[in-house]
């Protein structure tokens, strides 16, 4: 058994990663962070190559996508890898956050809150990228989502018109979205580096929630090989989805050029944003919908401040594990309700599960503190 001294911020790459003291008993659930870093790099690289063949002008933006897919050598491959890479990225990101909830890793305040900021910025980046193909859903999705800013008192309509560059979604809007979609990932990379620095400064959590420096081994070679094997498994799924079912997760309406005179029968975002979109649509008033929409993400940032358990893992807390799996079920139902029309009985069901979504955090706080007192 190896014993390590209390670790300070490493000064060399070798100490930062290869010699990093890591709990010997962490499971495969701790591989998601490494895979997400590789996928982010893949998204940035494919995005750079895609931007070479794209022009942010409403007259030819849709034609550029068609030209890229049909005429550019391997252009179709770059596009399907970029689009489906976003889906795989969000799927793993939600699993990564879920692991943090399950094992109460949010006690590392700085690491956790930077991770939630990364999620929020990644959602904004995905929305901006979804507008660029300039299909029907792209145009109307941009119209609906940007209109949400009109709820800001006094300045709302002014801000919306400024973002649009006019009185409707048009060429200035597309040009600005393209620029932001290209620049925001640079800020995302900086946040990911900060996330890693804080993580490596405090050390990784573990399934047992042990804070001791006992029973730790070097990160390399034990966990590097473990991460590489997990990466190969995920990339096998990724390439299977991208090459065999490239458009399975897309919306058929987005294969139609944008038309401001024809509204699609059902406007919806990509699957990974459906749970938040479902919460937005089930609130009767626009202001309330926007508040609940933002709260559905930002509520994760307050967990480290309201929950301070003496046990850093739910493995000893059966009620917390049960609540976690109920929360997973609630998110799946909200995702399904996001594709359902706004009519009975889906409106009432959406409102009920929206309340369940937020009640999870209240019940977890109460249950966790009561159970810990009983246990200790």
Active site residues: 200, 204, 226-227, 270
Task: Return the closest-CA partner of residue 282 out of 355, 230, 220, 178.
Answer: 355
Annotate 203-229 with DSSP letters as a single string. Answer: ----TT----SBSEEESTTHHHHHHHH
Contact in structure between 43 and 82 (CB atoms under 8 Å): yes
Write out the two tokens for 306: 């309201």
Q: Look at residue 135 and give its three-state secondary structure.
A: strand
Contacts of 150 (CB under 8 A, 6+ apart): 156, 157, 159, 160, 286
How many angstroms separate the CA atoms of 170 and 174, rounded? 6
Residues 116 and 127: their CA atoms lie apart, in Å, by 17
Residues 6+ apart with CB under 8 A from 229: none
DSSP 8-state assignment for residue 108: S
| Phi, then psi, of 257 in degrees rounded to 5 | -60, 150
CB hemisphere CA count around 204 (13 angstroms): 26
For residue 113 the two structure tokens come to 């809150």
Taking alpha carbons only, the member of 179, 173, 114, 95 closest to residue 141 is 173
Structure tokens, 289: 């919908």
217-221: Cβ within 8 A, 24+ apart: 217/2, 217/21, 217/22, 217/24, 218/18, 218/19, 218/20, 218/21, 218/22, 219/17, 219/18, 219/19, 219/20, 219/21, 219/22, 220/17, 220/18, 220/19
Q: CA-to-CA distance for 274 and 103, rounded, in angstroms? A: 25
């Amino acid at each position: 058994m190896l014993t390590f001294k209390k670790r300070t911020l490493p000064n060399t790459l070798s100490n930062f990663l290869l010699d990093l003291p890591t709990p010997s008993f962490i499971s495969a659930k701790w591989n998601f962070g490494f895979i997400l870093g590789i996928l982010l790099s893949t998204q940035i690289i494919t995005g750079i190559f895609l931007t070479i063949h794209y022009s942010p002008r409403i007259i030819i933006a849709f034609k550029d996508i068609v030209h890229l897919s049909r005429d550019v050598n391997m252009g179709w491959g770059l596009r399907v890898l970029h689009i489906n890479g976003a889906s795989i990225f969000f799927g793993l990101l939600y699993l990564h956050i879920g692991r943090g909830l399950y094992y109460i890793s949010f006690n590392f305040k700085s690491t956790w809150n930077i991770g939630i900021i990364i999620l929020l910025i990644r959602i904004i980046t995905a929305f901006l990228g979804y507008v660029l193909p300039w299909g029907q859903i792209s145009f109307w999705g941009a119209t609906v989502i940007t209109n949400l800013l009109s709820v800001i008192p006094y300045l709302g309509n002014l801000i919306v018109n400024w973002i649009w560059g006019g009185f409707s979604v048009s060429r200035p809007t597309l040009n600005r979205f393209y620029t932001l979609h290209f620049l925001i990932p640079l800020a995302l990379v900086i946040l990911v580096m900060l996330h890693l620095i804080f993580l490596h400064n405090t050390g990784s959590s573990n399934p047992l929630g042990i804070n001791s420096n006992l029973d730790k081994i070097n990160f390399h070679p034990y966990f590097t090989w473990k991460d590489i094997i997990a990466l190969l498994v995920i990339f096998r799924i990724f390439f299977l989805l991208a090459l065999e079912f490239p458009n399975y997760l897309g919306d058929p309406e987005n294969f139609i050029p944008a038309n401001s005179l024809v509204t699609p029968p059902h406007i919806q975002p990509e699957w990974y944003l459906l749970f938040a979109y479902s919460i937005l649509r089930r609130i009767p008033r626009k202001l309330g919908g926007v508040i609940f929409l933002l709260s559905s993400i930002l509520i994760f940032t307050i967990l480290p401040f309201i929950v301070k358990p003496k046990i850093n893992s739910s493995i000893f807390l059966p009620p917390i594990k049960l609540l976690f799996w109920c929360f997973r079920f609630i998110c799946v139902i909200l995702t399904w309700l996001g594709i359902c029309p706004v009519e009975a009985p889906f409106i009432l069901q959406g409102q009920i599960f929206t309340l369940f979504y937020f009640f999870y955090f209240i019940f977890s706080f109460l249950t966790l503190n009561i159970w810990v007192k009983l246990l200790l």
